[in-house]
Structure 1
């Protein structure tokens, strides 16, 4: 067994099975409810369809209001986009899903608050489903199985009830690290309140209170439009980055290197690399290049708020490229 295979096998074994967990409630209602009996996995959740339709119509209206917003409001919207995106990329994804680095309590609190601003299910829920996604990628147990098409992988998976395999496999994952994290469990307990406060009230009230922006514009631009943009940037990792791009590291898996997704999702588009080496905190071998999340984590380490970043050696990367790559590798 090569060094690369040994490390990968060790990583996979860390997700060992444990006795089934109790059912976990989703923020979006797309789970099976035992008291209601079994439901076909393609059954549509009309409440989610209506809410997502309203959200995107509101975001389009917010886009029309952008020219009327003040410069301060637009800058604030961008800041809110970055904060909420980091709550997903540096928080729910790289820290809590993959444990690719360690964060101090102050940083975990910040990332927990930022995650609530992103409003994409609580950290526990997000990390659990993401671990299932990696362990069973492109199968029926994958929450956003890209084999079912772009629309399903992008947003459709939120509009139908979860496939039974997703729930079954999720219950068997090792999640003790998440349960032991007080920030994760506190956010989970007060998630709905934290979302109302951080995703909508704070982005809307700051422009109105500090520099006199109208509540109408403040609600539709830094709150609703910003939230929708972060949602779609994250969804592109599930859809576009699993369908379009090259596979320089592993041709046996679907995830691709997609520069547009890398830019829009602040560093998460190096997806063939990430699925090949999911424990690498940078999700890329190129450091901070087009990767604001990696820059953020590096800066937190510089400040002493993070440590123990996991990294893949250049020798291991090159060995994997030679063994399973498609020959499209370009350094830098």
Structure 2
């Protein structure tokens, strides 16, 4: 049985990926510092899969702790989620993002190369493209100057991984996510932001349930049909399954390059107001919202061309926008009981 380390494995995407890994027959060990996650998620994973993953509370910014972990474990591959991930916050706190997202990646890769762990999946982002010249966005789209420190950390992270694979036995895949939303169908795990949500869907669900007074829609003067920004919203379970496909590709040595990148999205763009209306329709909840100023670091539109992932990984998003929104709402109701 292959043993896979999942950093940030109690977070939103990490926890769903741990479930898919366990259900695919992998042994999982999680590292998480609990800075933006909750320990009860560990038990929830066990409730879904019937097995509690091994867990270590480690802050990856502590180089010595990372060294000690790799010395004490026999790991076959790493899926690296641990990072700060809010665009707006990164504009206000750039040094936090560079320390958290870059130094931790370097420490993990250093220990992997020294301990002969050669399979690495990197949690990247469509923010690496900035505002693309053409839509949908293919993997060949040029990287623009990042619109935010968060986006820049993902660009730098990919460069670090590419350069490391070129001089070592390491093989790496960067998955460029578009906008993950939704929750597990069991409503046992989902997106659980600490404090005020930075992402659209938890803000919507918290508004609908009465925690937030109203939803702020950041800008209605974008060059789109209804003036609000467009994103490609993908169900987190579909996204988690893409990691399994990428990992299998490396384990089977099916990768064509030492470093590969794949877009992970649905190929469809939806505006913020389209999401609001779709949520109201699928849940029968009326949402209070107001239009406010644009947010620093936000772009007009981004949605994926997923042809490469479909062809090379044999992966395609299956779940609908309605599935995403209803599962997010069911999760919100479940955690407020």
State the TM-score, normalizing by the size of structure 2: 0.23
> More helix by proportion, 1 or 2?
1
State the TM-score, normalizing by the size of structure 1: 0.23
Structure with the larger RCO, 1 or 2 (CA within 8 Å, 6+ apart) = 1
